Amino acid sequence: MIRWMLLMFMVLVLVNSATGWVRKIGLGRLPGDVTLRLLGREIFLPCASSVLLTVGLFSLVKLVAWLM
């Protein structure tokens, strides 16, 4: 249980640190992405970008599997 909690914490830290890079390539401005400002903090929820990246990675894996 503690391993999963540590893994989720590390993933959240990586996602939070990558938001600047994600916005530079244009994925943070899709119509389904949400940016909230609460108590002076900015919370970024990339819903549409996550769906787009998931579909792209799934298609890439299927293409690689088909070629092999």
**Which pLDDT does position 16 carry in this prediction?**
73
Report how far apart, in Å, the C-alpha atoms of 15 and of each of 21, 26, 34, 42, 58 are. 10, 15, 15, 13, 19
- 67 or 1, greater pLDDT: 67
CA-nearest of 17, 25, 24, 15 to 45 is 15
**Which pLDDT does position 54 carry in this prediction?**
85
Category of 12 on φ-ψ map: left (φ > 0), alpha (ψ -120 to 50) or beta: alpha
Element (H or E) spanning 43, and its range? strand 41-46
**Which pLDDT does position 62 carry in this prediction?**
93
pLDDT in tens, 1-35: 788 888 878 877 777 777 777 777 776 777 888 88
Tell whether the model's pLDDT for residue 55 goes beyond 80: yes
Tell whether the model's pLDDT for residue 40 goes beyond 80: yes
